[in-house]
Homo-oligomer: A and B are copies of this chain.
Amino acid sequence: MTQGMLSEPTGSVTGAGALLSILRDGQARTRAELVQLTGLARSTVSQRLDALLTHQWIVPATDAISSGGRPATAFAFNQGARVVAAADLGATHARVAVTDLASNVLVERTADLPIDRGPEVTLGWLVDTLRDLLAETGGLLCGVGVGLPGPVEHISGRPVNPPIMPGWDGFPVPEWLGSRLGAPVLVDNDVNIMALGEHWAARPEVEHLVFVKIGTGIGCGIISERRLHRGAQGAAGDIGHIRVTSADVICRCGNIGCLEAVAGGASIASQLRKAGIQAENSRDVVGLVRAGNTQAVQFIRQAGREIGDVLASIVNFFNPSVIVIGGDIAEAGEHVLAGVREVIYSRSLPLATQHLSIRATELGDRAGVIGAAVMVIEAVLAPEAVDLTVSS
């Protein structure tokens, strides 16, 4: 099974997807309206509507019985037609959910789960957890979306040399999960799905958005013309390894002077330890900031400035209308944002910053899991993907 093969397997009805992509906005429409909107013949529209009704993708919007036995004349998308399984697997913890086709979370679970235990342990846990959650919700599973904390080849859904995921390189995640869960599986890196989730659920009107995750490492997800920009090798958004200083700071990638090595959560914790303050990781840093530790506030604000310096160049190059800051370190609140804003507004072009909004994530730590669901929903409901058996 390959990424993107999300259509139902048997038979085909051209045009059913076109109807569904019109109806999925939630508004009910009559047969006549659908004929006009699609340009398809009335008989064709009727046949497609029958198929969609049979498979419960749509429901009659007027009650056929209460209106005296006359046939229902309007149809609406049934967002409960299928359920979606979604997982955001981080370096040390995981969040798993089952959603409906509008990405509403029906049930979810979080757990401490170190990704470096390898794919079979991690994915085995995921299969067990999803089976539990699916037993709770019921419903027909139409796909599984998974976010991983490393580069993922888009076509195959396999991790590619992920630095913090020993044993995962080239592991066939979609096939392994798909054969156990009996549904198609889509995989992407965590920052891409966070960008997708934030865009779809919180800012669908925005054309160009950059979602910056500041955690142990630093990366970003990019929305261009409302679509995820993955780049030629799926490597787009890897801003953590942009060189920002010629100082002799060694990064875990092996280069020197990377943004992540001076402004990531691990770096800030290390700076705090050098100043004699106990801090192991991003969470400790955020805890110290929240407790009002002056040194921690200073370091985190400076990290914001370093990140802002890189983002100032990106604003000139890409001209987004929204930059969203998320990830563990973003939970330290306004201090990071202040540093980021300070540099972007002083460095970037006025034309590019006059309507630019720089804000904290609205979805918080749910951005990833909602994005994983959105990735599946978009694929399932793509006009060319909906491919139904004719019931007649």
Contacts and interface: CB of A to CB of B under 8 A. Distances in A.
Interface of A: 14-15, 39, 41, 151, 160-161, 207-208, 220, 222, 224-225, 227, 229-239, 241-243, 253, 255, 310, 312-314, 316-321, 347, 349, 351-352, 354-356
Given A14-B39, A243-B347, A233 B352 contact: yes
Contacts of A15: 39
A223 to B, nearest CB: 10
Where chain A touches its partner, the secondary structure class is loop
Nearest to A15: B39
A263 B317 CA distance: 17
Contacts of A316: 235, 238-239, 241-242
A120 to B, nearest CB: 25
Given A225-B227, A241-B349, A354 B319 contact: no
**Most chain-B CB neighbours within 10 Å: which of A161, A225, A233?**
A233
Contacts of A253: 349
20 contacts: A41-B41, A208-B229, A222-B318, A224-B229, A225-B225, A230-B319, A231-B319, A231-B352, A232-B319, A233-B352, A235-B352, A237-B317, A238-B349, A239-B316, A241-B316, A241-B349, A243-B312, A313-B313, A314-B317, A318-B318
**Most chain-B CB neighbours within 10 Å: which of A161, A229, A239, A253?**
A229
Q: Which 7 A-B pairs have the closest CB atoms?
A: A231-B319, A232-B321, A236-B319, A235-B319, A235-B352, A242-B313, A235-B351
A347 B243 CA distance: 7
B235 A349 contact: yes
A22 to B, nearest CB: 15
A320 B352 contact: no
Given A238-B351, A313-B313, 6 more contacts: A208-B232, A222-B318, A232-B320, A233-B351, A241-B316, A243-B313
Contact of A231 (B160, B208, B227, B233): B208
Contacts of A321: 232-233
B225 A317 contact: no
Contact of A151 (B222, B235, B351): B351
Nearest to A220: B317
A161 B350 CA distance: 11
Contacts of A39: 14-15
Given A224-B224, A225-B229, A234 B319 contact: yes
A262 to B, nearest CB: 15
Contacts of A349: 235, 238, 241, 253
A160 B351 contact: yes
Contacts of A355: 232-233
A236 B317 contact: yes
A189 to B, nearest CB: 12
**Most chain-B CB neighbours within 10 Å: which of A207, A231, A255, A316?**
A316
A388 to B, nearest CB: 15
Nearest to A253: B349
Contacts of A208: 229, 231-232
A264 to B, nearest CB: 15
